[in-house]
Structure 1
Amino acid sequence: MFADMYPSANGRPSMPPQILAAAVTLQALNGLSDFETVQELRCDLRWKAACGLGLHDMAFDPSLLAYFRRRLARSTRPDRVFEAVREVVKATGVLKGKHRRALDSTVLDDAVATQDTVTQLIAAVRAVIREVPGADAVAAAQCSAHDCTDPGKPRIAWNDEQARAGLVDALVTDALRLLGHLPEQQLGEKAANAVGILALVAGQDVEPAEDSDGRDGRWRITRGTAANRMVSTIDPEARHVHKTRSHQQDGFKAHLAIEPETGLYTAVALRPGAGAEHHEATVGLDLLADEDKPLDVFGDTAYSTGDVRQTLHEAGHRLFLKPAPLRPAVPGGFTLDDFAIDTTAAIVTCPAGHTVPLSDPGGQHHQRKASFGNLCTGCPLRERCTKARAGRILTIRPHHDLQTAARHQAATDSGWQADYRRWRPPVERAVAWLVQAGNRRLRYRGTISNNTWLHTRAAALNLRRLINLGLTHNRGTWHLAPAGT
């Protein structure tokens, strides 16, 4: 199972990877540090038995766990522990006849401190000086805002807004000068990453000063937060995550698919918390990619996009995805569903009975538009329809008919509503299992290492769930013993 991770026969005898894999799985289940894990292996007979150690075996150095995780994350099959447990699940037949999958995501806090703009700029300059050959001499000649050899914060009056603004301006100028005067050379991975991070932090939080034309090199902190902002130079992949409009965390998103009746995780993935390519609708399709039979798919409004509905519908799945509510242009007024929209005949009729043509798809998102223009003048329903002087303009997105049918079904189909209320909530329990005992805060940096941890923890939780369901091993096969036997 682990032979490809140890291709060379040379070197001293090592700890069998099966023991390390068992230890890492128990570590992920219990949320322990490397030192605590080794202490359990040395002192707890249950851990010794589970990992295959003898009574008098003294375990190993904690650094071996970090070494094993690094090998596992960099291997061709970093999720092999989860895959092995999935084979056990398949052998028991516990999912046979189970045709439901529930999707959800949760935010996991990153393992690093969030840095402000000044801290990021100074840390990024220090990294370039440390990693790029010749950068120290360039920094000595070009950077004057702060002595980067001083481990402390810049000595300014931090309660003086003008002093803070001047420091940011000077640090950004220093960063750009350093980047512009670095010697041309082939850079290694660490050096290239350091230069890239400095280039990013030098521009992500600033904009030209208020009275600047953008060419005189004067800067100020930008209003608002940049999209996809990097929150720390220590873990450049951590991001601001808006799970809701009012709640923000810094970290990553864990995406999961479960079988709601048994609570078993069928697929998991960890992704950065920002970016369209990491949205629930995109990752959700990946979680269902290995399913080979039609399913009932349950999810909240994050998964209810037109593209997802089209893809899953074509795959033969039944969809229990909560439609996103429509927002009227006027509070309490008409929504899109109050208009009669015939996408085939390309006509739209408003609540007042006015009919206009629907344009052909156009633009980046292939949207169609229906403009009522002068028909809104003097219309008795105008106050409930639009505030625009030019009249109401409807924007019709791709897959409009699918979305309209979904909203109608969710509002009127009592069977759909009953199934959604019955089978969607169990995924919240699976999320609670995932983050309990302090496991909402990640222990590692970067997507790759944390994604490997997530798969290992899901594998451990699946094993625990199978044991609670009566998992036994008899004559080389896995099966679930009936209750009471």
Structure 2
Amino acid sequence: MTLKPEVVGPIPEATIHTARAAFPRGSVVMKLRDEFGSLYHDENFRHLFPTRGQPGLPPWRLALVTVLQYLEHLSDRQAADAVRGRIDWKYTLGLELDDPGFHFSVLSEFRLRLIVGNAEALLLDTMLARFQERGLVKSRGKQRTDSTHVLAAVHDLSLLELVGETLRAVLNDLATVVPAWLSTVTQPEWLGRYGRRIEEYRLPRAKAAREAYVSQVGQDGFLLLDALEHDPEMMEVRARPVVSIFRTAWAQHFERLEGGCRWRPGSELPPVGERLCSPYDPEAHYSDKRRTQWVGYKVHLTETCDDDAVHLIVHTYSGPAEVPDVASTGDIHEALAKKNLLPTEHVVDAGYMDAELVVSTAMKHNITLIGPARINESWQFKANQGYDQSHFLIDWEHQFATCPQGHRSTKWRRGKDAFDSDIIALQFSRTDCSPCPVRSLCTRSASTPRHLGLKPRDQYEALQQGRAQLSSPDWRERYDVRAGIEGTLSQGIRSYGLRRTRYIGLAKTGLQHVGTAAAINILRVVNWLDGKQRETTRTSRFAALCRSA
């Protein structure tokens, strides 16, 4: 399917009159067309289409339909029906009233082109470029970022369910691609064991019976793996993704023994965030945050938050569930730099902060990272007595520290900590520490002198400054704007289905998040240009009714 050149033309007169009669005040999508014409053009997507072949549908329309689909939380079939039957959609898409539309499968094909071409961000970035032309979004303002968890579109499986369902998944796949070969390998009892979904209520309850069951599943799996590995005609089959998943699951959960196999106990399994959680979505992982536990992904939303402008989402970053927020801060800034949308102040919570980031962000991008500094974890600080690092005077030029009793450190050595970050290790003299009258307030060790582990000077001073300003009213006022991103996450979850992914895999999930952000931006821009005031907090329908009465 090649790209058919098409210039976004005027709306047909019949469509205009019918739409205006049906929507005298205009709908959101109609107002979007009135203000911006079309947000997208075919040129934006030209590189995704071949130069030869049958002409296809205009990509600008497919892109706009995709965003409107997320705006109204529609399935592909419902979106195609809306193109065919909704007057306001025909108005926005510039279609004749009798236009037959297209088959709903076209939308999934278009999304696949975006993913294969690494062009998912086009849905949001092209829109932001249009908004920049209108002065609705600008660089070097204020922005804020936060994340929320996203549930995968798969069942949460116990370990027994996981291995059984993994074997069932690979059997179903092989029955599709090499049915004749599988018939020669399959054991008669496998039909009863793996013929239907593996669910907890069907599994044995007694401990001995469960151990026998999982041992049998392991042996069945190794039998199938051996048959695949030893057959030279199965080379292509061995490379199939589901077979790789199967091989990984067995390596994680079983140890092969002579004449059988052993079920690995929990202490021998990989970290929980790195384990396979479902054979149907291997990129979905387990994670937990405070009291929330989930299997899936994590999405980070970054939006502008200047008081005198519309608040628009300028970046989405979808990543694995187990990766901490702080690991994404640098990637977010790099992406914003490519869009020419870097902020002057970036407000985040403590999860996105560390001393190294505060320094590097300021040096590289000239961004002030505003967020709570990492708390002091020393026992002296927690007990509110004794001498933590802040009580020592650091002479960076001469490379020594002075303790509260006036003694100087004797060693100053640069090295790496457990996370491979630069650190400066200091040690005081045993002859000074052993007879010290306040030794119990400085160290709990009875034999070794006091040690200090300092970050490099710029990071150390940034950390101390960050901790000192937490109680400052001016800093609290600057940080308070971060609360608004919680409302954006709530809007995405409650109105646009952000909490659960529609698709399988991280790439498709990321595309959903980009489309959701674009949909939220459409609603906010239309309301802003319509003169509707931005709510500072959630308002119930009853409260809004009473306010307008």
State the match for 1:440 in structure 2: 499
Does structure 1 residue 300 correspond to structure 2 residue 349?
Answer: yes
State the match for 2:12 in structure 1: none
Moved more, 341-350 or 86-95: 341-350
Cα distance, 1:86 vs. partner?
Answer: 1.1
* Residue deviations 1:281-306 (CA, integer Å, cap 9, x gap): 34333343324666112111122123
Does structure 1 residue 106 correspond to structure 2 residue 154?
Answer: no
> Given residue 289 of structure 1, which amino acid in structure 2 is its aligned partner?
A
> Given residue 222 of structure 1, which amino acid in structure 2 is its aligned partner?
G
Does the aligned pair in 2 maintain the 1:139–1:178 contact within 8 Å? yes
Using a 3 Å threshold, how does the CA distance of structure 1 residues 408 and 79 change in structure 2: closer, same or farther?
closer
How many angstroms apart in 1 are the aligned matches of 2:273 and 2:331? Answer: 20
Does structure 1 residue 452 correspond to structure 2 residue 511?
Answer: yes
TM-score (norm 2): 0.74
Query: What SS class does the counterpart of residue 469 from structure 1 fall into?
Result: helix
Equivalent residue in structure 1 for 2:369, among 319, 323, 348: 319
State the match for 1:289 in structure 2: 337
Identify unmatched segments of 5+ residues in structure 1. 473-485
How many angstroms apart in 1 are the aligned matches of 2:206 and 2:344? Answer: 60
Does structure 1 residue 10 correspond to structure 2 residue 53?
Answer: yes
TM-score (norm 1): 0.82
How many angstroms apart in 1 are the aligned matches of 2:210 and 2:373? Answer: 46
> Given residue 377 of structure 2, which amino acid in structure 1 is its aligned partner?
R
State the match for 1:227 in structure 2: 273
State the match for 2:297 in structure 1: 252
Does structure 1 residue 369 correspond to structure 2 residue 438?
Answer: no
How many angstroms apart in 2 are the aligned matches of 1:97 and 1:70? Answer: 31
* Residue deviations 1:265-292 (CA, integer Å, cap 9, x gap): 1111211112469833343333433246
Cα distance, 1:409 vs. partner?
Answer: 4.7
For residues 112-131 of structure 1, the aligned pairs below 5 Å read: 112-129=154-171, 130-131=173-174
> Given residue 485 of structure 2, which amino acid in structure 1 is its aligned partner?
V
Does structure 1 residue 272 correspond to structure 2 residue 320?
Answer: yes
How many angstroms apart in 2 are the aligned matches of 1:318 and 1:164? Answer: 57
Using a 3 Å threshold, how does the CA distance of structure 1 residues 66 and 35 change in structure 2: closer, same or farther?
same
Query: What SS class does the counterpart of residue 145 from structure 2 fall into?
Result: strand
Equivalent residue in structure 2 for 1:32, among 74, 78, 92: 74
Using a 3 Å threshold, how does the CA distance of structure 1 residues 156 and 441 change in structure 2: closer, same or farther?
closer
Q: State the number of aligned residues.
A: 464
State the match for 2:3 in structure 1: none
Q: Relative to total residues, which structure has the larger helix share, 1 or 2?
A: 2
Query: What SS class does the counterpart of residue 26 from structure 1 fall into?
Result: helix
Using a 3 Å threshold, how does the CA distance of structure 1 residues 235 and 99 change in structure 2: closer, same or farther?
same
Query: What SS class does the counterpart of residue 334 from structure 2 fall into?
Result: helix
State the match for 2:35 in structure 1: none
Does the aligned pair in 1 maintain the 2:165–2:198 contact within 8 Å? no
Does structure 1 residue 407 correspond to structure 2 residue 407?
Answer: no
Using a 3 Å threshold, how does the CA distance of structure 1 residues 299 and 276 change in structure 2: closer, same or farther?
closer
Cα distance, 1:15 vs. partner?
Answer: 3.5
How many angstroms apart in 2 are the aligned matches of 1:186 and 1:282? Answer: 44
Cα distance, 1:379 vs. partner?
Answer: 5.0
Equivalent residue in structure 1 for 2:484, among 411, 416, 426: 426
Equivalent residue in structure 1 for 2:400, among 325, 332, 347: 347
Moved more, 459-468 or 335-344: 335-344
How many angstroms apart in 2 are the aligned matches of 1:255 and 1:140? Answer: 46
Cα distance, 1:234 vs. partner?
Answer: 0.8
Using a 3 Å threshold, how does the CA distance of structure 1 residues 406 and 165 change in structure 2: closer, same or farther?
farther
Does the aligned pair in 2 maintain the 1:48–1:54 contact within 8 Å? yes
* Residue deviations 1:84-117 (CA, integer Å, cap 9, x gap): 2011111011234752121221111111112222
How many angstroms apart in 2 are the aligned matches of 1:376 and 1:137? Answer: 76
Does the aligned pair in 2 maintain the 1:169–1:220 contact within 8 Å? no
State the match for 2:249 in structure 1: 201
Cα distance, 1:220 vs. partner?
Answer: 3.5
Provide the aligned C-alpha RMSD in A.
Answer: 3.6
State the match for 1:48 in structure 2: 90
Name which one, 1 or 2, has greater alpha-carbon Rg: 2
Using a 3 Å threshold, how does the CA distance of structure 1 residues 4 and 276 change in structure 2: closer, same or farther?
same
Cα distance, 1:324 vs. partner?
Answer: 1.5
State the match for 1:480 in structure 2: none
How many angstroms apart in 1 are the aligned matches of 2:47 and 2:63? Answer: 14
Query: What SS class does the counterpart of residue 112 from structure 1 fall into?
Result: coil
Using a 3 Å threshold, how does the CA distance of structure 1 residues 286 and 325 change in structure 2: closer, same or farther?
same
How many angstroms apart in 2 are the aligned matches of 1:284 and 1:231? Answer: 27
Using a 3 Å threshold, how does the CA distance of structure 1 residues 121 and 323 change in structure 2: closer, same or farther?
same
* Residue deviations 1:213-232 (CA, integer Å, cap 9, x gap): x9984224314853322321
How many angstroms apart in 2 are the aligned matches of 1:446 and 1:85? Answer: 25
Using a 3 Å threshold, how does the CA distance of structure 1 residues 404 and 311 change in structure 2: closer, same or farther?
closer
> Given residue 239 of structure 1, which amino acid in structure 2 is its aligned partner?
H
> Given residue 297 of structure 2, which amino acid in structure 1 is its aligned partner?
F
Using a 3 Å threshold, how does the CA distance of structure 1 residues 431 and 196 change in structure 2: closer, same or farther?
same
Query: What SS class does the counterpart of residue 146 from structure 2 fall into?
Result: strand
How many angstroms apart in 2 are the aligned matches of 1:153 and 1:222? Answer: 21
Does the aligned pair in 1 maintain the 2:144–2:303 contact within 8 Å? yes
Query: What SS class does the counterpart of residue 425 from structure 2 fall into?
Result: strand
Using a 3 Å threshold, how does the CA distance of structure 1 residues 30 and 351 change in structure 2: closer, same or farther?
farther
Identity %: 23
State the match for 2:540 in structure 1: none
Query: What SS class does the counterpart of residue 102 from structure 1 fall into?
Result: strand
Query: What SS class does the counterpart of residue 227 from structure 1 fall into?
Result: helix
Does the aligned pair in 2 maintain the 1:108–1:252 contact within 8 Å? yes
State the match for 1:159 in structure 2: 205
Does the aligned pair in 1 maintain the 2:185–2:224 contact within 8 Å? yes
* Residue deviations 1:418-468 (CA, integer Å, cap 9, x gap): 2112x3222222222322223311101111111122112212222222212
How many angstroms apart in 1 are the aligned matches of 2:391 and 2:234? Answer: 62
